[in-house]
Amino acid sequence: MGDHLIIGAAVVTGAAVALTLIFARFARTDSWLATVTPLASIIGSGFLICGPLLAREFGSMAAPAMIALLILAFTVGSIIRFNIAHAEPVLAEISTHHPLAWTARTGQGVLAAAYAVSVAYYLKLLAMFCLRAIDSQSLLLANSIVSAIIAVLGLLAFSGGLRWVERVADASVSLKLGLIAGMLVALGLDWGRTGGTGLIPAAPVDGHSLLLLLGLIITVQGFETSRYMGESYDAETRIRTMRNAQIISSVIYVLFLVLLTPRLGQAADTQGVAGVLDVMESVAPFLGAFVLAAAVTSQLSAAVADSIGSTGLAVELSRHRLNTATGFLMAGALALVVTWTTDALQVIAVASRAFALFYAFQCAIAIWVARRAGKAGLARQLLFLFVGLLCLVAVAAGAPAEG
């Protein structure tokens, strides 16, 4: 099977998926728009980073390891969905001095810091990818690009609330999913061409491997943005669309790892997005452009999604004294401070632990509501406790993947 056939199939598939997601009637519904925000955040650059990392740590067991991580993420998501349904009404009624309210605010403060870092990190990576086209590594120019993007998003937020910002996420996610679909088709055709040769043995699983897998939670993080979209969508919509976003992203992650299996040996010797670029270039020359375009759109959509989550968080922390436009402005200002004063590639290690700590707080809230309000039985409460302890392990010892 020739390179031209693989490239042609990838381009046709990518264009068909992207155009369908942009122009189909369902793409303009509230249900899809509410799905796009968590989906955009979940499928960030981690989608491209997981392959080489898991190939190196788990060998041919990379796909099962990814499935285990996704099961953990889906379980955490189910706990946050439980809190949307049962904890949000309780938090809206109790005093601001109630211990549960303090627990929620502390967790939200942790998440606010994580969001600010992640938005700056995503956009700075986007800027650096764009600057590669002109062979520039100017940090000043990269920071200026980030500032311009945040300013444009801020103007959109003020002109039409989060709806215009969501449209940016929608367009970038549509393009990103089209590119991913093209890459998956190319990998599938490559599997047929090579006959699945190039397999590597399973690597021994040890404590370091498991801690790295916990650290990878940040690469499938993003579903929690639905928790803070209450200004735009009701609880039922957010619960349903968060679940849908996790299912869609899980299918993509697993398919990518499974179809990458014949190339895992090659992927294990590479690192990061550049490593996946090398792998795809070896499948067919033009596919490297798919990886770069997917990386850029992934960074933009993830940054926009986390900005939306950060905005909802600011509104809730202010007890609705802020509106969405002002909340977005504050979130953008915090991201700008991080952009100009820190190296986001270094502090992302802190952000990965902050997200895990926020999930632990969510588990604690779920346990309290389940016990006091009788919303879940003992078995489910024990599950909340177990997941919370896993998140604390990730905080203490998880190896952050995107650093």
96-131 pLDDT, tens digit per residue, is: 788 888 888 888 888 887 787 778 877 877 787 777
Distances (CA, A) of 198 to 111, 162, 201, 267, 281: 42, 47, 10, 11, 16
pLDDT score of 115: 80
Q: What are the residue ranges of helices labelled H in 224-323? A: 235-259, 264-268, 272-283, 287-317
- More confident call, 6 vs 350: 6
Tell me the C-alpha distance between 377 and 368, whole Å: 12
pLDDT at 403 exceeding the cut of 50: no
* Mean of pLDDT values over 158-164: 65
pLDDT score of 261: 78
- Contact criterion met (CB below 8 Å) for 104 and 91: yes
The CB density around residue 27, as the number of other CB atoms within 10 Å, is: 16
Determine the residue type at 174. S
Tell me the C-alpha distance between 171 and 173, whole Å: 5
pLDDT at 158 exceeding the cut of 80: no
Tell me the C-alpha distance between 13 and 223, whole Å: 27
Tell me the C-alpha distance between 342 and 345, whole Å: 9
pLDDT at 22 exceeding the cut of 80: yes
Tell me the C-alpha distance between 242 and 222, whole Å: 9
What tokens does 109 get?
Answer: 């403060």
Tell me the C-alpha distance between 120 and 350, whole Å: 13
pLDDT at 400 exceeding the cut of 60: no
Instruction: List CB contacts of 63: < 8 A, sequence separation 6 or more.
Output: 254, 257, 258, 261
Q: How confident is the model at residue 168 (pLDDT cuts 50, 70, 90)?
A: confident
Name the pTM for this structure: 0.83
Partners of residue 202 on adjacent β-strands: 59
Q: Which of 35-44, 117-126, 301-310, 355-364 has the highest mean pLDDT?
A: 355-364
137: exposed, middle or buried (C-beta count within 10 Å: 0-12, 13-18, 19+)? exposed
94 DSSP 8-state letter? S
Q: Which of 45-49, 50-54, 131-135, 375-379 has the highest mean pLDDT?
A: 375-379
pLDDT digits (tens, 9 = 90+) for 274-330: 667 777 777 777 777 777 777 777 777 777 777 777 777 777 777 777 777 777 778
Phi-psi region of 106 (alpha: psi -120 to 50; beta: other; left: phi over 0): alpha
Total count of residues recorded for the chain:
403
Mean of the per-residue pLDDT values for the chain? 81
**Of 276, 267, 125, 129, nearest in space to 198 by CA:** 267
* Mean of pLDDT values over 251-280: 75
Task: Identify the three-state secondary structure at position 59.
Answer: strand
Q: What are phi and psi of 134, to 5 degrees?
A: -115, 20
Of 88-92, 358-362, 397-401, the least confident: 397-401
**Of 244, 231, 184, nearest in space to 36 by CA:** 244
